Amino acid sequence: MNSHPGSRVLVINCGSSSLKYQLLEPDSGSVLASGLVEQIGEASGRALHRQNGEASEFVGEIVDHAQGMRLMTEGFAAANFPLDEAGIAAFAHRFAHGGTTFSHPAIVTDEVEAQLEALEPLAPLHNHVMLRGIRIARAMFPDIPHVAVFDTEYWSHLPAAVSTIPIDADVAREHGIRKYGFHGFSHQFVSAEAAAFLGRPPDEVNLINLHLGSGSSVAAIRGGEPADVSLGMSTNSGVVMGTRTGELDPGVIFALHQLAGLDLDAIEELLFRRSGLKGLCGDNDFRAISERMAAGDEAARLAYDVFVLSLRRYLGAYLVMLPSIDAIVFTGGIGENASTIRADTVAGLERFGIRLDPARNGSSSRESRRISSADSDVEIVVIPTNEELGMARAAWEFV
């Protein structure tokens, strides 16, 4: 039971050069305000705050996340809604990797901060910048509880055969080497929404979810519970992503060291930040890739084909793994908006009772919608994700 006098949660999601936020009422799901601070650390940044149907904008240099956080507070103040008077019960801070230390949300104390810092090597692209955001917010708002919520939490009870990585068992146990999974808030949210859309109790529904964006993952949901997910020990596993390889033969790492002379830091930089779609064609923005494909660009076409093939591999694996399939769910920025990706991912699956309706798939609706044909045995649906609401509710229930 929430004991804090406030009734709202401010969700903070720090990226390497961005800060996204939403102020929500967890009970109703109402979004009172939202904003994005982007291009932090670059010559020209932008901060956009939306509230009460209006928007305010700052354009100029944003030197670091501390300035970004101040611009967030100024956005609220400009809307005559200062944060210290906003009835905030908690700040919910997204944290990518909880390791074996955190399988539930945690109120951030100095001790918890130290534990979070120790987890930075598990998600080098995410954890350190998310911890930076927590430290800045705690210093600015010391009297409001700050709750770390973890992308890995949803997957903490995967079957042992799924979560186990087949290396020496003693080494794995000692160092916490296992599948953790990510995008948990998205998969949890869209699974519940998909069951409601189908008019079925969640525990009666088997789903394959495709969360597609700059980071992507495919998940198998059995009877409303997570059965498997493509992301594993780190955020660089599973399907091809914007700047990350996804699944990779470990021999490539040895070859990069022995043949190319790269050290571990250089290999990490290559595999996490200069691979995936960007590594293959120089772009990780799907809109730019689509435009280049339309102009006949072969590198963009290859990047697209590699991405789609990686999705189809996991889709096929989960079709075999699950006892039956009620729906295939597309979500995330690409999954919700890129009709070509959806069509190519399920192409040729009619023999499995999976049939897409091209007209429905071509709709530009932003709502939850069915895109399978009337005679499809398996529903194909698009469900907009709302990770922020999931994070807000997790923090709200914990404080």
Q: Return the closest-CA partner of residue 215 out of 187, 175, 189.
A: 187
Residues involved in catalysis:
151
Q: In which residue are the tokens 């020990």 written?
A: 233
- Structure confidence by residue, pLDDT tens digits, 219-272: 999 999 999 999 999 989 999 999 999 999 999 999 999 999 999 999 999 999
CB 211 within 8 A of CB 330: no
Res. 5 pLDDT band, cuts 50 70 90 = low
What does the pLDDT read at residue 16? 79
Task: Tell me which fold the domain 8-150 belongs to.
Answer: Nucleotidyltransferase; domain 5 (3.30.420)
Superfamily of domain 201-387: ATPase, nucleotide binding domain (3.30.420.40)
- Structure confidence by residue, pLDDT tens digits, 24-48: 999 999 999 999 998 898 888 999 9
- Structure confidence by residue, pLDDT tens digits, 179-217: 999 999 999 999 999 999 999 999 999 999 999 998 999
Q: What is the pTM of this model?
A: 0.90
How many beta carbons lie within 10 A of that of residue 125, not counting itself?
18
Q: Which residues touch 181 (CB under 8 Å, ≥6 apart)?
A: 151, 152, 154, 155, 158, 217, 219, 226, 229, 231, 232
Q: Residues at the annotated binding site for Mg(2+)?
A: 13, 387
Please give the share of the chain, as a percent, with pLDDT higher than 70: 99
- Could you list the beta-strand ranges (E) of 106-193: 106-107, 146-150
Q: Residues at the annotated binding site for substrate?
A: 94
3-state secondary structure 313-349: HHHHHHHHHCCCCCEEEEEHHHHHHCHHHHHHHCCCC
Q: Rg of the chain over CA atoms, in angstroms?
A: 21
Of 16 and 220, the one with more pLDDT: 220
End-to-end alpha-carbon separation of the chain, Å?
8
Q: Is the pLDDT at 2 greater than 60, yes or no?
A: no
Question: Backbone phi, then psi, for 159, in 5-degree steps?
Answer: -55, 145
CB 201 within 8 A of CB 321: no
What does the pLDDT read at residue 1? 44
Question: 8-150 and 201-387: same fold?
Answer: yes
Res. 123 pLDDT band, cuts 50 70 90 = confident
Domain residues of the chain, as ranges?
8-150, 201-387
What does the pLDDT read at residue 4? 53
